Amino acid sequence: MEIHSDYSSLATTLRTRRQRLAEKIAFPVILWSGGSSSRNFPANHYPFRASSHFLYFAGLPLKNAAIFLDGGRLELFMDEDSAENALWHGEMPKREEIAQIIGADAAFPLSALPTRATGAATIALQDASTYQQQADILNRSVTPSYTPEGIDRDLAKAIASVRLCHDAGAISELRQAAAVTIEAHKAGMGAARTAKQEAAVRGAMEGRGGSVGIGWLRVRIC
């Protein structure tokens, strides 16, 4: 995962968001990022997309991670990247570095997450592995996100209220995404004049996004 210079204001934005959430609830929260879902066989994964609520409060698309929120405080739970993964996908920042970027108050291995489970609310994820992990760590049933119950329902209402209006950080990301989208489509229209295959048009569009340091699905905090 590449760290961009525009992350300098991310911690401030996230701190404000979790403080707004803390004003609406009186219980701790654990939000999971989720993992990759398999397609037709276990080793063939769909592209990873972190949970929307996790992204809103954590700001970075961290795979197999979780955050603990309580009274405006944020703790990050994730394991360090393996040497094998770094070989194939590039080196990830260390856990402490990521914690500093998002303004976390502390950072721990994922194995320490059960110590924060008592009385915590969550939003169920769709991928089966993470969903089972949620139920195991919280030691209770977790109903699907479209039919939450108890404090999970209260959490869903509180998050919906916080996210109902975009803040300055989200508006900035949306404007940036819109500008890049315009440039990408212009590049695609230009390529269409001479391209013999659709892949050439797509390549031109994705290349334009990459040339300004923004890939698809880059919007992360809205």
CATH number at residue 82: 3.40.350.10
- Do 112 and 207 lie in one domain? The reply is no
- Do 76 and 134 lie in one domain? The reply is yes
Report pTM.
0.85
Total domains in the fold of the chain:
2
Residue with tokens 């403080």: 19
- Provide the residue range defining the domain that includes 202: 168-211
Instruction: List the alpha helices (DSSP H) in 73-146.
Output: 83-89, 95-102, 128-138
- Tens-binned pLDDT, residue by residue, of the chain (222 aa): 555 545 668 999 999 999 999 999 999 999 999 998 888 887 788 888 999 999 999 999 999 999 999 999 999 999 998 888 778 878 889 999 999 999 999 999 999 999 999 999 999 998 889 999 999 999 999 999 999 999 999 999 999 999 999 999 899 989 988 998 899 999 999 999 999 999 999 999 988 877 665 554 344 445
| Cα–Cα dist 50/64, whole Å | 9
Nearest 5°: phi and psi at 220? Answer: -125, -15
| Cα–Cα dist 59/57, whole Å | 6
- Do 131 and 176 lie in one domain? The reply is no
